[in-house]
Amino acid sequence: MIESGSLTPGIIPGAFGLPPGTALRYERPAAHLTGYLASYAVLDSVVEDAWHPVEWMLPGWAQIWIVMTPEPIKVRIGNRAYEPVPRALLYGVTSRAMPVAARGGVTICVDVSPLGWARLFSRPADALRDQLIPLETILADAKVAELASALARSDQALEVKGVLDDVFTSLTAVPNRDEAGIRQIWKAIADEGVTDLATAVGVHAMDPRTASRLSKQYFGFPLKLLIMRSRFFRALLPLLEAGAYADHAAVPTGYYDRSHFLRDAKRFLGATPRLFMARPSPYAAAARRARTLVIGSPIPALDRP
């Protein structure tokens, strides 16, 4: 397997808490790519007796995957099953938890922010939300081949950051005229004091019609739903971190009552938090710890602009 860790100074791989038979690297993109690409990750594993083949991913922004596993990977998003996934793929902004089944090998992931979507892709994000597509359908074939080939030639560990920085520097070079508005919307979504659409529009001085257009074009969903998603994950993550010690009776901040919180859980997880936590996902939990240490937040959906 690859060497777990990060090129970011001071990161101790043992703090990731990886399950047996797995390895993981998280990297920060180059400074000039910050804001467009949220993070890079390299996931590796071998099949062992303790291997748990299905992990649950939480919803987030778009992500590019380059799959190098010897056996196919299977993903389900809502009612859509992708068996197997393409070797180079993009999944759009997601609003529901996704089971991923894999049996060993390396996958390299690039988290794409709404600002990154604006620079990388011409298709509207809402046309691809909660979907997975071959990367070649939205990015030039030559660029996809360049990316996959460069990663295949690398050590798939310490060299990955440099490869991705080089390829995406040219791909994100052209600014988008809507970037100021995208940043404004992103700030509202990331604002912990914003729990509803009216507050977002008022506090962040947004024109509702412009916010609606930009939200669908670059964020994939209406602003109201994205605010709900952020509110929900700010409440859910402490429960996931607490594990068996989680207080499932408490009413999280931002919610009127417990039933309000459970309705959002059904929307974004497809289950109550208690039932979702009963599905073992030790690798996903380790990835959240690693990302917090390297990037500063456990999932891209809670990143700040």
The chain-wide mean pLDDT, for the chain, equals 94
Q: What is the pLDDT of residue 203?
A: 77
Q: Which structural domains are found in the chain, ordered by start? A: 13-175 (2.60.120.10), 179-277 (1.10.10)
Confidence of residue 186 (pLDDT cuts 50, 70, 90): very high
Q: What is the pLDDT of residue 51?
A: 52
Confidence of residue 201 (pLDDT cuts 50, 70, 90): confident
Q: Are 39 and 26 in contact (CB under 8 A)?
A: yes
Residue 56's φ and ψ, nearest 5 degrees, are -105, 120
Q: What is the pLDDT of residue 60?
A: 95
Q: What is the pLDDT of residue 215?
A: 95
3-state SS string for the chain = CCCCECCCCCCCHHHHCCCCCEEEEEECCCHHHCCCEEEEEEEEECCCCCCCCEEEECCCCEEEEEECCCCCCEEEECCEEECCCCCEEEECCCCCCEEEECCCCCEEEEEECHHHHHHHCCCCHHHCCCCEEEHHHCCCHHHHHHHHHHHHHCCCCCCHHHHHHHHHHHHCCCCCCCHHHHHHHHHHHHCCCCCCHHHHHHHCCCCHHHHHHHHHHHHCCCHHHHHHHHHHHHHHHHHHHHHHHCCCCCCCCCCCCHHHHHHHHHHHHCCCHHHHHCCCCHHHHHHHHHHHHHCCCCCHHHCCC
As a residue count, the chain comes to 305
Cβ partners under 8 Å of residue 176, min gap 6: 115, 118, 119, 182
Q: What is the pLDDT of residues 13-34, one digit of tens each?
A: 999 999 998 999 999 999 999 9
Q: What is the pLDDT of residue 52?
A: 57
Q: What pTM was computed for the model?
A: 0.94
Mean pLDDT within 271-291: 95
Q: Are 45 and 24 in contact (CB under 8 A)?
A: no
Cβ partners under 8 Å of residue 231, min gap 6: 195, 254, 255, 264
Q: What is the pLDDT of residues 108-123, one digit of tens each?
A: 999 999 999 999 999 9
Q: What is the pLDDT of residue 49?
A: 55
Mean pLDDT within 188-197: 88
Q: What is the pLDDT of residue 199?
A: 82
The tokens describing 122, both together, are 């011409």
Q: What is the pLDDT of residues 44-102, one digit of tens each?
A: 998 765 455 789 999 999 999 999 999 899 999 999 999 999 999 999 999 999 999 98
Percent of the chain at pLDDT exceeding 70: 98
Q: What is the pLDDT of residue 194?
A: 86
Residue 129, pLDDT > 90, answer yes
Gap between the Cα atoms of 151 and 195, Å rounded: 41
Residue 174, pLDDT > 90, answer yes
Q: What is the pLDDT of residues 5-14, one digit of tens each?
A: 999 999 999 9
Percent of the chain at pLDDT exceeding 90: 86
The CA-atom distances, in angstroms, between 276 and each of 65, 70, 252, 262 are 25, 29, 17, 12
- Count Cβ atoms within 10 A of the Cβ of residue 31 and give its class: 0-12 exposed, 13-18 middle, 19 or more buried: exposed
